[in-house]
Structure 1
Amino acid sequence: MAAIKRVIPLGVNYGISLTKLQGINNVAINVPAASLLVNRSQCKADGYNFKFYSSFSSKSYAHNKFHYRQISQLVKSNNKRAFLVDTLALVHRFEAQGVPSKQAEAITSAITESDLVQEANHSKFKSQVQSSQAIIGDSMESHISLLQHKTEKLRNDIEKVRSELRYEIDKLTAGQRLDLNLERGFIRDELAKQNTETSNLTNKLDREIHALRAQLEAGKYEVIKYCIGTLVSISAVGLAVLRLYA
C-alpha cells in the first residue's frame, strides 16, 4: 500500500505532464511490446479512480534486475478514461538529468500531488460553479415566475380599467343619445306647433281677406247704386226744368 500511495501521484503527474507537453486531451503511453502486465490494483481519491498496472521491463531483465514499471490510469467517476501515465519513466528522466533517485521520486510525487490538488480544486470549483448556476437558475426561474405573475396581474388590472372605461363611455354615449333624442323630439314638437300656428294665422288672414273683398264688392255695388240714383235724379231735375221753360 505504501508503494501504491507513492506511485499514485507520480503516475498521475506524468500523465498530466505528457498531456500539457503534447497538447492532446487523451494521452496514451505506449508500453513496450516485451512488457507484460502482471499486477493490477484500484483505489479512489477525490472522485477519481486510479488504476495501476505493473509491467515487466525487458530492458531491466537484460541487466538481471527486475523493475516494475508503475503505470497509472486516471479514470473519472463516470468511467471515462482521462490519460495513461508511466511514473517510472518520469523518475528515470529525472535520474538521467543527474537527480538522485529519492529526490526524483520526491519531485515527481510533489508535482503529482500539486496537480492532484489542482485537479481537486478544479473539480471543487466546477462543482461550486454548477451549484451557483443551479441556484441562479432557480432564482431566475422564481424571478421570471414572479414577473409573469405581476405581468398577468397588471394585464388583468388594465383589462378591468378598460372595461370600466368602456362602460362609462357607453353610459355617457347613451345619456347623450337620450338627451339628443329628447331635444330632437322637443324641437320637432315646437316646429309642429309653429307650423300649426302659422297655418292658423294663414287661414285667419285668408278669411279676413275674403271678408274685406266681400265688403269691397258690397261697397262697390252701393256706390254704383248711388251713382245711378244720382244720375236718375239729375236727369229728372233736368227734364223738369226743361218743361218749365218750354
Structure 2
Amino acid sequence: MQRSCRSLSRVLVSNRGFCSSTTKGAGNEKIVASVLFERLPVVIPKIDPVVYAFQEYSFRWRQQFRRAYPEEFLKKSDARGKGEYQIDFVPAPRITEADKTNDKRSLQRALDRRLYLLLYGDTYGTPKGQPVWHFPEKVYKSEETLRKCAESALESVLGDLTHTYFVGNAPMGHIAKPLTDKHKDTDAFKRFFFKSQVIATNKFNIKCKDFVWVTKDELLEYFPDHSEYLTKMIIS
C-alpha cells in the first residue's frame, strides 16, 4: 500500500512541472503571476431610475393601507432627537476634486465604482525598453506557491502588504500567450490573475514610473486585445 502511494505521488509531482520548475523545457513555457488590485466602492451607487420609480410606487401604495397611530405617539416620534445634542448631518459630496480634475493617480475618485491599479513600465513578454501598461506581476521562480509569487509582485510595488487582502488562494483566470514568429526572442508563457483588495487606506506610495487607478470601463481601453476576456473575468 505504501509503495503504491509513493508511486502515485511521483506521478502527480512529475505532472506539475509548471508549478515546481521554470527551467527551459516543455516548450519553454513560463508562468507569470499577475495581481488584479482593486479598491471597492466607498459609497452606495445611485439607484437606477426604474428601481427608484418602483420604490416610490411601493411606498405610496403602502401608505394607503398603513396602520393609523395616535396623534400623541406621532408627536413623540417627531420630537425624538431634537434636544440639545442634536447633530446636523451633512453627507460628503459624491463628486470629489479628483473627479473634477480627472486625477487617475488618486483613490479619491469614482467613489461608487471599483478602481483597479495599472502600472506603466517594463514587463514580461514585451521587448525591453518599450514600457507598457500592465498589472503588478512577477515571473514564477522559486516561491512556495503561485499565490506567494503574486504577493511578492504586489509587495515590490507597494512596499508592504499591510493594507491589502488577497481573495482566495487560487487564481481567478489566466491568459496563455503562445510562441509566435513575431517575438521569437521571448518564451511562451501563461499569465495567472489573482485578486487583491485595498483595506483601510486611501493612499499608497507606489514604486513605479507611472500608475493609474481606473474603473473597469477605463481599464478595457488599456487592453483592447484582451477586452472581451477581461470583461468576463472582472465582475463590477
- Scaled to the shorter chain, the TM-score interval is under 0.3
Bigger strand fraction: 2
Q: With the length of structure 1 as denominator, give the TM-score of the two structures.
A: 0.19
